[in-house]
Amino acid sequence: MNVMDLAHPAEEVAPKLLGALLTHEAPEGTVSITITETEAYSGTADPASHAYRGRTPRNAVMFGPAGHLYVYRSHGLHWCANIVTGTDGIASAVLIRAGRVIEGEDLARKRRGAKVESPRLARGPGNFCQALGITAEHNGTDLLTGASVALSEGEPVSAALIRIGPRVGVSKAHDWQHRFFLAGDPTVSAYRLSPRAKPSGGA
CATH code given to domain 10-182: 3.10.300.10
Nearest Cα neighbor of 165 from 183, 149, 147 is 183
Instruction: Give every CB contact of residue 90 below 8 A, 6+ residues apart in sequence.
Output: 43, 44, 63, 64
41 in Cβ contact with 93 (< 8 Å): yes
β-bridge pairing 93-103 and 149-152: unpaired
Q: Among 117-126, 128-137, 165-174, 183-192, where is mean pLDDT lowest?
A: 165-174
| Per-residue pLDDT tens digits for 17-56 | 999 999 999 999 999 999 999 999 988 888 888 888 888 8
Nearest Cα neighbor of 15 from 140, 163, 174, 180 is 180
| Per-residue pLDDT tens digits for 140-178 | 999 999 789 999 999 899 999 999 999 888 878 888 999
Residue 197 pLDDT = 67
Give the integer Cα–Cα distance in Å for 172 and 163: 21
User: Model pTM?
Assistant: 0.93
| Domains of the chain, residue spans | 10-182
